[in-house]
Structure 1
Amino acid sequence: MEKNTKLFVCAIGIFVCYFYYGLLQEKITRGNYGEGENREKFTCILALVFFQCVVNYIFAKIVLATVMKQGDDNTRTLYYSSSALTYLLAMVCSNMALQWVNYPTQVVGKSGKPIPVMILGVLLGKKNYPLRKYLFVLLIVIGVVVFMFKDGKSGEGSSVLGFGEFLLVLSLMMDGLTGAIQERMRSEYKTKSGHMMLSMNLWSTIYLGVAIIITGEGLMFVNFVQRHPSLVWQLITFSIAGALGQFFIFLTVSDFGPLPCSIITTTRKFFTVLGSVILFGNSLLPRQWFATVIVFTGLFLDSIYGKAVIKMK
């Protein structure tokens, strides 16, 4: 009973934290600030991710010192710095995509993450996956393509990808590279989740700190917050929700394994799409609803039956 209660608490924590995180992410990146002629949109995406990474780093530091004491970490710095770069690019691209696509499109597009992870696992990690996993991922591919396909309007050609969708594809490619590097870290150094969260957010903070100074976005961010101080509370709660969500995911994986965690996160994404449609009025075509069901069916089946991986000799 105690174990079931803990799993229920973890599931509720993941649902609540990431549901709130997703709603705030859309509100910050797609909302309007100010009134009348002074209305403007938030465009400081690098600064937004920088703020999030700083909070994640502080949170990981506290958790490692109190709750998840995981001993020394001997993982090579090169692995952390390179995985942090690809992780960072994936996060920036997905956040930036929200300036061109709505949140349901971002969630469904990012649900295609198993695709690049599996491809790079085969090419770089020399892995052999069971046939059923290829079928489940194919189901995800079909769903994502059907969802993102743009119906051509009169006088215009139809195209599958706009700039927002292109950013999502780029984000998925970076996710695949991040997964490949992290797999090397786990196999060679048995890197723990807490150390990975801490070091990757540290390197991401360093990269972004340099970027916002060079581009001048740091000053733009400060000026924007001064004009719209209500953004401060949104940024703080957005980052805390993301950090707590990561903590509940790590806790679920360490105590109950990756399978329950995958089922919980897959279900959470679907309800986040529903929440975005209801609360922000993001209407979906019947074709997109059908595609959404296909994507999450593939993800759900993969989380239950597609986990087995056989290393090639």
Structure 2
Amino acid sequence: MEEVSLYNQVADSWFSHLILNLLCYGTVFVPGYFLIKYFRDSNYKDRAGTGVISRFIVSCVYGHGYDYLPEDAPVIKLPPPERSAASKAGLLVFCFTGLQVSYLTWGVLQEKIMTKAYESEDGAVGHFKDSQFLVFVNRILAFMLAMTYINVVRQPRHTAPLYKYSFCSFSNIMSSWCQYEALKYVSFPTQVLAKASKIIPTMIMGKIVSARKYEYYEYFTALLISLGMTFFLLGSTEDKHDSSTTTSLSGVIILVGYMTFDAFTSNWQGELFTQHRMSSTQMMAGVNMFSCLLTLASILQQGTFHTSLAFMATYPAFFWDCLILSVCSASGQLFIFYTIATFGPVVFIIIMTIRQGLAILLSCFLYSHPVTAAGFLGISLVFVAIGLKIYCGYRLKQIKARKGGSEPNKV
């Protein structure tokens, strides 16, 4: 009996689930790697035909852009049109509002689906627990929405090889998995605190992936935001004694994995935007195409696809919750890609960090949780840091413009 119990504990551990998911994803990545290697080594683009399959292979392996130019040919990249300060402010407000509405609604529905019981017409009660199926449903709708938009609205020429989307698609799936799995080992405030602090690993990943340079004030404001969110989140949580899960080494490892994968996702997408100038909808379609492929392969091999469909048929309310959840997720992704393409990954992470504070505020409003003085102090620090970042960035641009414009005025 003890051996059976030990076996069940190992089988149900987060590490076992992680290995199983990676093995399922490997059934897609490993053949894909060897296929791409074969097509590149055999110079497939030189003998590719004009059929649909040939064009799809070329798009996946080579793309349709700068890879076709000789190495010594100059590549002309036109800079994006400069927007006025009022236009930038309007776009920032638009992105901020869209992200907050989409993901606050998404968070409420996510909590309902994963924690509340569903009741069927005959009185049966059931709980849904397969988060990977939710990811798959969300990605399917997002992919369909993106492809519909691409076929209706004229898009810029797509130059990126499709396989490059698989990297950030994988990291996005893994960050979502870590986010759900961590709740088994750490309390909710601890997880939200980790999310609020991920602006720092995002900046670190930006230096690794894109060799991006940041100003000193950006490091300072990042630390100030994290400090403010720490005061706010810890000061707003009064039920510390009623925690059913405690922080553990496993929880810390999973949260580090979440922050690392999430930071890589936004920075890799930012790098693709910089290199290939695709639209946010093209990015959305490419990422979700691989996300659908990876999650479908995993849930089919693990046998959870049919059980989730059976649950949906038994509890119709679950179907409508999934539909609304998917709509919020799809619209949120549009705002994510547009924000990263327009303002960069750091601004995006700042907006999403604020979302964590608003989520706690919404919880306090709905469930009458008190906010302490430390919580208000944290809110003040966050908004002071954001205002400081905007002011310093504006002043720095003014100084650079003044230095650059002083020389031509000389006679």
TM-score range, shorter chain: 0.7 to 0.9
> CA 1:123/1:44 → structure 2, altered by over 3 Å: closer, same or farther?
same
Q: Which stretch shifts more, 256-265 or 178-187?
A: 256-265
Which of the numbers 106, 114, 118 marks the counterpart of 1:33? 118
1:214 aligns with 2:301: yes
Q: Aligned partners of 1:295, 1:90: CA distance in 2, in Å?
A: 24
In structure 1, the partner of 2:198 is 113
Question: Structure 1 residue 78: deviation in Å?
Answer: 3.1
TM-score, structure 1 length as denominator?
0.76
Question: Structure 1 residue 133: deviation in Å?
Answer: 1.0
Q: What is the number of residues matched between the two proteins?
A: 302
- Could you say which structure has the greater relative contact order, defined with CA pairs below 8 angstroms and 6 or more residues apart? 1
Paired amino acid for 1:46: Q
Question: Structure 1 residue 81: deviation in Å?
Answer: 0.9
RMSD: 4.2
Which of the numbers 261, 268, 275 marks the counterpart of 1:188? 275
Q: Aligned partners of 1:159, 1:130: CA distance in 2, in Å?
A: 37
Q: Which stretch shifts more, 216-225 or 10-19?
A: 10-19
* Partner SS state of residue 42, structure 1: coil
Question: Structure 1 residue 30: deviation in Å?
Answer: 2.2
Q: Aligned partners of 2:360, 2:187: CA distance in 1, in Å?
A: 10
What is the percent sequence identity of the aligned residues?
A: 26
> CA 1:99/1:47 → structure 2, altered by over 3 Å: closer, same or farther?
farther
Question: Structure 1 residue 127: deviation in Å?
Answer: 2.6
Paired amino acid for 2:328: A
Which aligned pairs between 1:35-54 and structure 2 lie closer than 5 A? 39-54=125-140
Which aligned pairs between 1:68-147 and structure 2 lie closer than 5 A? 69-97=154-182, 106-143=191-228, 147=233
TM-score, structure 2 length as denominator?
0.60
Select the structure of larger CA radius of gyration.
2
Q: Which stretch shifts more, 83-92 or 297-306?
A: 297-306
> CA 1:242/1:221 → structure 2, altered by over 3 Å: closer, same or farther?
same
> CA 1:213/1:175 → structure 2, altered by over 3 Å: closer, same or farther?
same
In structure 2, the partner of 1:55 is 141
> CA 1:263/1:176 → structure 2, altered by over 3 Å: closer, same or farther?
closer
Q: Aligned partners of 2:325, 2:105: CA distance in 1, in Å?
A: 8
In structure 2, the partner of 1:172 is 259
Question: Structure 1 residue 43: deviation in Å?
Answer: 1.1
Paired amino acid for 1:117: T
Paired amino acid for 2:151: A
In structure 1, the partner of 2:404 is none
Q: Which stretch shifts more, 245-254 or 76-85?
A: 245-254
Q: Aligned partners of 1:183, 1:47: CA distance in 2, in Å?
A: 27
> CA 1:287/1:222 → structure 2, altered by over 3 Å: closer, same or farther?
farther
- The runs of 5 or more residues in structure 2 that have no matched partner are 1-85, 398-411
- The runs of 5 or more residues in structure 1 that have no matched partner are none
Q: Aligned partners of 1:199, 1:73: CA distance in 2, in Å?
A: 11
In structure 1, the partner of 2:284 is 197
Question: Structure 1 residue 109: deviation in Å?
Answer: 3.0
Contact 1:102–1:282 (CA under 8 A) maintained in structure 2: no
Contact 1:108–1:295 (CA under 8 A) maintained in structure 2: no
